[in-house]
Structure 1
Amino acid sequence: MKKVVCFGEVLWDVLPEGKKPGGAPMNVAYHLNRLGIESYMVSRVGDDPLGQELTMFLKKMGLSTDYIQLDNYQKTSEVIATEGANHEMSYEIVQPVAWDFIHWDSKTSTLVETADMMVFGSLAARNERSRTTLYELAEQAKLKLFDVNFRAPHYTQSTIEYLLGKADIVKLNNHELRIIASWFGDDGDHEQDSVNRLQDKYGIGEIIVTKGGDGASYYTPMARYDYKAYPVIVKDTVGSGDSFLAAFVAQKLLGKSTEDILDYAAALGAYVTSQAGANPDYKSTDLAYFMWQKQLERLKWQ
């Protein structure tokens, strides 16, 4: 069985209607597990009730907690959501928290060395302790996927550039691409040119640019593939990008064709968007049925 390590934040999103488990790396690990990939979450929680509850959630979702470190000094992470004028939401990613202090250890190092891929984002690199651990573990990974997640002010240009230089595959949205392009005097209006510059500058083999309802583009050194989003009735968009990425990774590791990889990733992203929450309860057969339904709809309108 293929094995993937996801490194970074696990947290509680504290919303007006209550708290929900969150964190992009955790969402990716959850969906990989659902898709038949052996996935592991490397993170850290506080020795507090919220940490215990989060650990119990991970176990309930079928994820190993063997690499979730326990912190006796820092609390479990929370993201505080506040509703403002015109129902606009603002988010405070509280710091410092336990996952800011993920430590290197030999057990985790062995896990990364034996895995087929390591997935990591930029948020977990905001603190020097976790950033150092990430850098050390990334050196041991066979295949590195950098999921760019800009959460101002929790990133720096130097950190992003370092991680871009280490990554074999990069996933980012079109807004994040424009920000990075602007660092090099590029207005980002021409996606193809911006992506090509990133590939050349950092030696990145593959780049995925997600565009919400407009689908996604996948770039290799030799080709570009564009894929439209599946049309759905949106319940919420939380975690849709994470599910897209997990499906991409799963299909890639299973050796599927580029077209099948992108189709599957677009389908899971759409399926999650049509459900409530980032981690709906589903099986691969549910996704297959969803894809079959959508294919019938396409045929109907042709």
Structure 2
Amino acid sequence: MEKKQSVIGIGEALFDVLPEGKKLGGAPANFAYHVSQFGLNSCAVSAMGDDELGKELEKELNDHHLNYQIDKVAYPTGTVQVSLDANGIPCYDIKEGAAWDNIPYTPALEKLAKNCTAACFGSLAQRNEVSRNTIYRFLDNMPKEEGILKIFDINLRQGFYNKEIITESIKRCNILKINDEELITVSRIFGYPGIDLENKCWLLLGKYNLKMLILTCGVNGSYVFIPGEVSFIETPKVEVADTVGAGDSFTGAFVASILKGKSVREAHELAVKVSAFVCTQNGAIPVLPDEFTK
């Protein structure tokens, strides 16, 4: 990587095996790709196997002009079987013991952390201790000054999470992104009383001293909570091809907008438009129209 990187997606890099074939996937790589479309330096951090799928992964990343720091490890490159229901909503079967479960913490990664202005991470890549420790060390070595963003895009999948992982991650982030179903799950894990979704968000925002909390509710709109203020935007009605990667594109567009000096409301408006567009396309990382990225 020649350019100084500033925005990092760290965690799983893999192939989504969809009905129509393999597509590059993994939330951190999707996030980094969408950030790059807004002209910011971004980088996907993960691990891959020294295998044929690993070569294909490298080729895909290069074809998408995405910077990456993905070490080769003695585990197979990750795959996820994705099946879609009648509404294009994906169901995932995520293979265990993958390369991205074993991301090594290296001097090169520490250097990346020290130059990082924003990092996005989720819960899935923390299912194994090796990658979990690498993610935490990366976050802990990021600069401490004001304006550094640590985004926990919670991304609960199958049974690959627990209370400790969620708690430690929320403590390490300053922006939490969560959907309505995940919020119900987290509230149940944390033992919160049966208050409504908005009050649950205010509770999390205050308890963990977050800069922002983003709540997405599928067709029922999305919210961005900041201390003392909330932005709500309805979800546009579009012809859905599939929703794979829509949430990652939302996060990427939102974070890129904030880093470029846009207001929370402006960032929210663009994120909603971008994720709606991604829903009309097959796969997680379509090229965005110029009207979004100018």
TM-score (norm 1): 0.88
Question: Which whole-Å CA distance do the structure 2 matches of 1:188 and 1:47 have between them?
Answer: 48
> Deviations along 1:282-302, whole A, 9 cap, x unmatched?
34x24379xxxxxxxxxxxxx
> Residues 147-166 of structure 1 correspond to what in structure 2 (within 5 A)?
147-166=153-172
Report the CA distance between 1:16 and its aligned residue: 3.3
For residue 71 of structure 2, what is the aligned residue in structure 1?
69
Conservation of the 8 A alpha-carbon contact between 1:10 and 1:23: yes
**In structure 1, what is the equivalent of residue 215 of structure 2?**
209
Aligned in 2, Cα 1:187/1:100: closer, same or farther, shift over 3 Å? same
Q: Is 1:287 matched up with 2:292? A: yes
Describe how 1:79-228 pairs up with structure 2 within 5 A.
79-81=80-82, 90-142=91-143, 143-186=149-192, 189-228=195-234
Offset of residue 203 of structure 1: 2.0
Q: Secondary structure of the residue that 2:285 maps to in structure 1?
A: coil
Task: Note the alpha carbon deviations across 1:31-60, whole angstroms, 9 max, x for none.
Answer: 111111110011000000000001110011
Q: CA deviation at 1:103?
A: 0.8
1:244 aligns with 250
CA contact (8 A) 1:78 1:94 kept: yes
**1:64/1:15 Cα in 2 relative to 1: closer, same or farther (>3 Å)?**
same
Distance 1:193 1:101 in 2: 37
What does residue 15 of structure 2 align with?
12
CA apart distance, 1:185: 2.9
Q: Can you list the C-alpha shifts for 1:48-81, whole angstroms capped at 9, x where unaligned?
A: 000000111001101123x11011x200001124
Aligned to 1:33: 36
Pick from 253, 261, 269 the counterpart of residue 267 of structure 2.
Answer: 261
Q: Deviations over 1:132-154 (max 9, x none)?
A: 11111111224311000101211
Query: CA 1:14–1:200 in structure 2 vs 1: closer, same or farther (change >3 Å)?
Result: same
Q: What whole-Å deviation, never above 9, does each CA across 1:177-197 have from its counterpart, x for those lacking one?
A: 111111233355512210122
Which shifted more, 192-201 or 258-267? 192-201
Question: 1 CA distance for matches of 2:112 and 2:16?
Answer: 28
Q: Which stretch has the larger CA shift, 120-129 or 192-201?
A: 192-201
User: Higher Cα Rg: structure 1 or 2?
Assistant: 1
Q: How many residues align?
A: 286
Tell me the distance in 1 between the aligned counterparts of 2:161 and 2:97: 14
Query: 2:106 corresponds to which letter in structure 1?
Result: D
Change beyond 3 A, Cα 1:74–1:208: same
Label 1:249 to 1:83 Cα distance change in 2 as closer, same or farther (>3 A).
closer
> Tell me, which stretches of 5 or more residues in structure 1 are unaligned?
290-302
Q: Which has the higher contact order (CA 8 A, sep 6+)?
A: 2
Cα 1:251–1:82 shift into 2, 3 Å = closer
Q: 1:112 to 1:179 in 2, by over 3 A?
A: same
Distance 2:270 2:77 in 1: 34
Deviation at 1:18, TM superposition (A): 1.9
Which amino acid in structure 1 is aligned with residue 134 of structure 2? Answer: T
The answer (yes or no) to whether the contact 1:4–1:37 under 8 Å persists in 2 is yes
Gaps of 5+ in 2: 144-148
**Kindly tell me: are residues 255 and 202 of structure 1, through their superposed partners in 2, closer, same or farther at Cα, counting changes over 3 Å?**
same
Query: Helix, strand or coil: the match of 2:190?
Result: coil
Give the % identical residues: 37
**2:50 paired residue number:** 47
